[in-house]
Chain A
Amino acid sequence: MMKADGVIRALLFSLLLIGCRTQKQPGLGEPLADLTPAQRREFEEGKQAFQRVFEPKDGLGPLFNANSCAECHEQPVVGGTGDEVEVHATRSVGPNSCDPLFQEGGPVIQQHATPLLKAKGIEKEEIPPHATSQGRRSTPALFGFGLVDAVPEATILAHEGRYGANGDGIAGRANRTIDGRVGRFGRKAAVAALHDFNAGAFPQEMGVTTPLSPVEETINGTPVPPDTDPAPDPEISLEEIERVTAFIRFLAPPPEQVFTNHHDRHLAKRGRRLFANLNCAVCHIPKLETGPSSIQALDRKAVALYSDLLLHDMGSELADICLERAHPSEFRTELLMGLRFREHFLHDGSAKTIQEAIERHGGEARKSRDRYKALGDADKNALLKFLQTI
């Protein structure tokens, strides 16, 4: 009797394990698991809105960087990264104050103009005259951004400054938006919420006005000539912003790469240990947890973003612009989620390989970088193999 009971228990346990193993991880570009049918519909509708191509008659420009969200976020699937590199510019005012130069057309400098504006002799926006620095920005992949948005502010703040005692001089701090919220999106963590990020993308990247930004971006502070913008403002509705936000909110994080052969699996496991031992994981925290949410797919989920979402000093060689409280040399810990799908690295896409990106870390990451450089080839390979799983 006891034996039969044991067998039944073992069988049930095996079934449970099989069930766990067969629960399919969403593929790249697919929606999160656990979405309701209505949320799946929102995702699909949002994906259409995300791929909408704007023309001047729909509101594109007169100044813009791209004519569609998907023009930049396209590789390897819609919502991913792209090869476009933007120009941003701001002005440092003393050691602790930054002017984003809103009144001079900053911080995003639009690189293209519609034919009507070109006819007036304006090809693009110039760097604002009062800018003290400029930087280049590659396109981030948006996978898993809904989960990042759902990480509570308290979780981010809980990691602030806590690494100061480890002797490596690593101490992150949160950036704050101009209205005082904790920032998390953007390379300088100057944007607090996914909705704000998307609402700003329409006017700043596509020159498309919205009910929240109902006037066109200026040309370095000068209003656009009236006959260069044929579409009435606002050029899209709040609902269209919501649709795009729903697509990104429900876009699943990239699935973890699982190597099928024993050798690679073993190597990646060793690389994971090295990642921790080199103190990479101090800033690139492998997982954070989302807070309570009315959306089941976002409710208290672990998200493998590999970031603490805090600002860290990366050294003078990488320094570019200030933004809100971020100094020129401070950057938000880059999310490594989806690293294996990228072709360019660092905030400006200037590193051609992961190795180059690691070797160009400075500031708070200097000691970790030096330890990496001191590794033998076998260990370096193990670390890279691990990074190929992310």
Chain B
Amino acid sequence: MKPFLGTTMKKSFCRLRRFFGVERTIDRPKNSACPRSSRGGAPELRQPMSKPNNLQASGRCLAALRMTIIAVGIIALGAQASEVDQLKSDLIGQCMGGREKCWKFQSRDQIKELVIKNKTEDSQKRVYTIALQLQAGPTSGRYAAEARVEYTKAGAGWKIKQVGLLSLAKVESPAPARAPLAPGKRP
């Protein structure tokens, strides 16, 4: 019968455990599922220790700190991503500006980039200042815009009220499209 975790997954799991200091190379229990490895784990943790108990405690603190920092980072990034996603969805159908200097958001594809620059909120109103890179289609010009997006409280949630165009400029030389990253590579 095949083990529950595949070999690759098991290795990755072990590397993670080592990285977070949950299992250190030097005091790895004999019955550990993780094989001994020269890689993985912080180098100092691979040195012999004179006071294993104290070090064990400080290692756990360090591990907890690392996990907390990473978790907070992931949560913040996730929240930002979902907020950007929500903004993109809410912008569809909205108009900002007027005459030649007017943008009606017709699809998410037109929003090449959206960055939240500022956010304020009280009990009734939420206001974002966002920077946008906009392009209607592959043969259209690219525009850099800044906008003010206002939401009002609607029941338990928020409803988009209006979008104000703060600035708009045609981007002369749009940045070339980034090549997709190879799997496993970090930007």
Q: Is the CB of B97 within 8 A of A213?
A: yes
> Is B104 in the interface zone, CB < 8 Å from A?
yes
> Is B167 in the interface zone, CB < 8 Å from A?
yes
Q: Is the CB of A324 within 8 A of B162?
A: no
> Is B143 in the interface zone, CB < 8 Å from A?
yes
Candidates B103, B106, B136, B162; contact of A238 at CB < 8 Å: B162
A177 to B172, CA, bound (A): 17
| Cβ distance B106 to chain A, nearest Cβ, rounded Å | 7
Q: Is the CB of B100 within 8 A of A103?
A: no
Q: Is the CB of B164 within 8 A of A197?
A: no
> Is B96 in the interface zone, CB < 8 Å from A?
yes
Q: Is the CB of A200 within 8 A of B97?
A: yes
> Given A103-B169, A212-B163, does the pair A178, B141 have CB atoms closer than 8 Å?
yes
Candidates B102, B105, B163, B167; contact of A103 at CB < 8 Å: B167
Q: Is the CB of A179 within 8 A of B164?
A: no
A196 to B110, CA, bound (A): 19
> Is B14 in the interface zone, CB < 8 Å from A?
no
| Cβ distance A173 to chain B, nearest Cβ, rounded Å | 14
Contact count A vs B, C-beta below 8 Å: 114
> Is A270 in the interface zone, CB < 8 Å from B?
no
Q: Is the CB of A177 within 8 A of B102?
A: yes
Closest to A88 in B: B100
Chain B residues whose C-beta falls within 8 Å of the C-beta of A238 in the assembled complex: 162
A214 to B97, CA, bound (A): 9
Among the stretches A49-57, A184-192, A255-263, the one at the interface with B is A184-192
Q: Is the CB of A102 within 8 A of B170?
A: yes
| In the complex, per-residue mask of A208-235: 1 if CB is within 8 Å of any chain B CB, else 0 | 0011111100000000000000000010
Q: How large, as a class, is the contact surface on chain A?
A: 35 or more
> Given A178-B136, A213-B164, does the pair A99, B100 have CB atoms closer than 8 Å?
no
> Is B101 in the interface zone, CB < 8 Å from A?
yes
Q: Is the CB of B95 within 8 A of A99?
A: no
Chain A residues whose C-beta falls within 8 Å of the C-beta of B96 in the assembled complex: 212-213
Candidates A102, A176, A196, A198; contact of B168 at CB < 8 Å: A102
> Is A314 in the interface zone, CB < 8 Å from B?
no
> Is B98 in the interface zone, CB < 8 Å from A?
yes
Chain B residues whose C-beta falls within 8 Å of the C-beta of A179 in the assembled complex: 102-106, 110, 134, 136
Chain B residues whose C-beta falls within 8 Å of the C-beta of A201 in the assembled complex: 98-99
> Given A103-B169, A215-B166, does the pair A323, B100 have CB atoms closer than 8 Å?
yes
> Is B165 in the interface zone, CB < 8 Å from A?
yes
| Cβ distance A83 to chain B, nearest Cβ, rounded Å | 21
A192 to B105, CA, bound (A): 13
Chain B residues whose C-beta falls within 8 Å of the C-beta of A108 in the assembled complex: 99
A197 to B165, CA, bound (A): 15
> Is B140 in the interface zone, CB < 8 Å from A?
yes
A367 to B143, CA, bound (A): 40
A61 to B100, CA, bound (A): 19
Q: Is the CB of A204 within 8 A of B98?
A: yes
Q: Is the CB of B166 within 8 A of A214?
A: yes
Chain A residues whose C-beta falls within 8 Å of the C-beta of B103 in the assembled complex: 178-179
A181 to B100, CA, bound (A): 11
Q: By CB atoms of chain A within 10 A, which of B102, B103, B106, B168 has the most? A: B102
Closest to A91 in B: B170
For residues 129 through 145 of chain B, which have their beta carbon under 8 Å from a beta carbon of chain A?
Answer: 134, 136-137, 140-141, 143
| In the complex, per-residue mask of A96-109: 1 if CB is within 8 Å of any chain B CB, else 0 | 01011011000110
Q: Is the CB of B137 within 8 A of A200?
A: no
Chain B residues whose C-beta falls within 8 Å of the C-beta of A176 in the assembled complex: 136, 140
Q: Is the CB of A213 within 8 A of B98?
A: yes
A204 to B96, CA, bound (A): 14
Closest to A104 in B: B169
Q: By CB atoms of chain B within 10 A, which of A100, A178, A198 has the most? A: A178
Closest to A211 in B: B162
Q: Is the CB of B104 within 8 A of A97?
A: no
Q: By CB atoms of chain B within 10 A, which of A103, A108, A196, A324 has the most? A: A196
> Given A178-B140, A179-B110, A180-B137, does the pair A214, B98 have CB atoms closer than 8 Å?
no
A177 to B168, CA, bound (A): 14
> Is B148 in the interface zone, CB < 8 Å from A?
yes
Candidates A97, A190, A198; contact of B141 at CB < 8 Å: A97
> Is A306 in the interface zone, CB < 8 Å from B?
no
Closest to B104 in A: A179
| Cβ distance A336 to chain B, nearest Cβ, rounded Å | 23
A356 to B150, CA, bound (A): 51
Q: Is the CB of A200 within 8 A of B136?
A: no
Closest to A205 in B: B99
Q: Is the CB of A186 within 8 A of B100?
A: yes
Candidates A99, A178, A212; contact of B98 at CB < 8 Å: A212
Candidates A199, A202, A214, A323; contact of B102 at CB < 8 Å: A199
Instruction: Point out residues on A near B: beta carbons under 8 Å.
Output: 93, 97, 99-100, 102-103, 107-108, 176-181, 186, 190-193, 195-204, 210-215, 234, 238, 323-324
A-B contact pairs, 9 of them (CB 8 A): A99-B172, A102-B170, A103-B168, A108-B99, A177-B100, A177-B136, A179-B105, A179-B106, A190-B99
Apart from the given pairs A179-B134, A190-B100, A195-B95, 5 other A-B contacts in the complex at a CB distance below 8 Å: A102-B101, A103-B168, A192-B102, A200-B98, A234-B164
